[in-house]
Amino acid sequence: MIRKALASALLAGFGIYGAQALAADNEVNIYSARHYQTDEALYGNFTKQTGIKVNRIEAKEDELLERIRNEGANSPADVFIAVDASRLANADEMGIFAPVKSKLLEERIPAHLRADNWFSYSTRARVIVYNKDMVKAEQAQTYEGLADPALKGMVCTRSGSHPYNLSLGAALVQHDGAAKTEEWAKGIVANFARAPKGGDTDQIKAVAAGECGIAIANSYYLARLMNSTKPDDQAVVAKITPVWPNQKSWGTHINVSGAGMLKTSPNKAAAVKFLEYLASDEAQVYFADGNNEWPVVASVKVSNPALDKLGEFKADTLPIQKLADTVGEAQKIFDRAGYR
C-alpha cells in the first residue's frame, strides 16, 4: 500500500512536470511572423534531425504579441520569431523572453548581432535608390544627405512610424546623436515629394516613375524586383540606381530577422535546440535565402543573383542591443519632427 501510494504521488508530480519534460523531447511551438516557402524546409529538416515536431502559428508581429499577452502564463508558445529589431525590442520590453545561454550560439553568431534575450539569424540592409535623371550620384551617398535642402520635393519614404524607419532612426541616434537626428528628421519631412505612404517596393517604383527622385528601402525588396522575370519589374530596376549608403563613415544600416525563447515556454529544451538549429549551416541558408537576406554566420554563403550583383559593402556593426534600446527614442524624435 505504501509503495502504491508513493507511486501515485510520483505520477501526480509528473502530471505537472513529466508532461512538459516529455513534450520537450517531442515538440516545439513556434509563433512566427515569417511566412516564406523556404521555411517549410527549415522546419521539416529540424524535425528530421531531432525528431522534434514543429507546431507553428504564423501571423503579423503585433497579432502574435497580443496573443502571447492574452495567453499569459498559459501560452503554449516556445519561440517567437520576428523580422525587425524594433519588433523584437518591443517583445523584449513586454518581458516575454527568457535569456538563453548557449556556447554554440555564442560561437556562431557575432556578438554585435546577439541581444540580451534574443538572437539575430539573418541580416538585411537599408539602401538608397535614386533616379539618375533627377538626382546626382553625389547627393545619394549617405542617409544624412537625404535631409539636404537641395533635395527638396525629391524624397519618398514609407511612414516614419514603421519599424524599418524607426530602426534606421535609432542607428542615426547612436552614430550622430539625438539632436542631429532630430534635425535630420525635420529635413526629411521638408524634402518630401509626397506624404509617406505604401511599402518599400512602392518607394522604389515611385523613384522609377519619377514621382520622387530618391528613396530608402530594405535590400530584399530591391532584390525581389531584380530577381523577378516580370517585364514591369525589370523596367523599374532599369530606371533606378541603388547605393550602399555611408560607405565612408559608419557603414550601411543593418537590420535583422531574429528569435527568442519565451519565459513561459513549456518545452524549453526543444526551444533551445531549435534556436541552435537556426544557426546551423543548413538552416542559415534557408533562413536567409527565404527573404533575399544574408546569413549571420560569416562562414555560410548564400548564392542570390541580385545580392551578388549588388556586391559587397561596408555594413554597420552597431550592436543590435543598442539599436533595439534606442528605437523608443527614435519614435519620439520622429513624432516631434512630424515624420509620421
CATH superfamily, region 2-123+256-305: Periplasmic binding protein-like II (3.40.190.10)
**For the chain, what are the domain ranges?**
2-123+256-305, 125-253+316-337
Q: What percent of the chain has pLDDT above 90?
A: 87
Helix (H, G, I), strand (E, B), or coil: what is residue 79?
strand
| pLDDT over 90 at 10, yes or no | no
Q: What is the predicted pLDDT for the residue at 37?
A: 79
- Mean pLDDT check: name the lowest of 262-266, 273-277, 285-289, 317-321: 285-289
Give the pLDDT band (50/70/90) at residue 25.
Answer: low
Cα–Cα dist 119/111, whole Å: 10
Q: What is the predicted pLDDT for the residue at 4?
A: 37
Alpha helices in 177-217 (DSSP H): 178-190, 200-209
Give the pLDDT band (50/70/90) at residue 3.
Answer: very low
Q: What is the predicted pLDDT for the residue at 8?
A: 38
Q: Are 79 and 260 in contact (CB under 8 A)?
A: yes
- Mean pLDDT check: name the lowest of 4-13, 154-163, 175-184, 313-322: 4-13
Alpha helices in the chain (DSSP H): 2-16, 18-26, 38-50, 61-71, 85-93, 103-108, 163-176, 178-190, 200-209, 219-227, 231-239, 268-277, 281-289, 305-310, 320-337
Average pLDDT in the 245-269 region?
97
Cα–Cα dist 340/335, whole Å: 7
Binding positions: 35, 220-221
| pLDDT over 50 at 2, yes or no | no
The model's pTM:
0.89
CA distances in angstroms from 173 to 42, 110, 191, 326, listed in the order given: 36, 22, 20, 7
Average pLDDT in the 175-184 region?
98
Q: What is the predicted pLDDT for the residue at 140?
A: 98
Least Cα distance to 221 among 124, 156, 135 occurs for 124
CATH superfamily, region 125-253+316-337: Periplasmic binding protein-like II (3.40.190.10)
| pLDDT over 60 at 106, yes or no | yes
| pLDDT over 90 at 214, yes or no | yes
Q: What percent of the chain has pLDDT above 70?
A: 93
Average pLDDT in the 181-196 region?
98
Mean pLDDT score of the chain, rounded to an integer? Answer: 92
Average pLDDT in the 93-100 region?
96
| pLDDT, tens digit (0-9, with 9 covering 90-100), for 31-62 | 999 988 778 889 999 999 999 999 999 999 99
Q: What is the predicted pLDDT for the residue at 36?
A: 82
| pLDDT over 50 at 23, yes or no | no
Q: Are 256 and 11 in contact (CB under 8 A)?
A: no
Binding positions for Fe cation: 35, 220-221
Q: 2-123+256-305 and 125-253+316-337 share one CATH topology?
A: yes
Give the pLDDT band (50/70/90) at residue 289.
Answer: confident
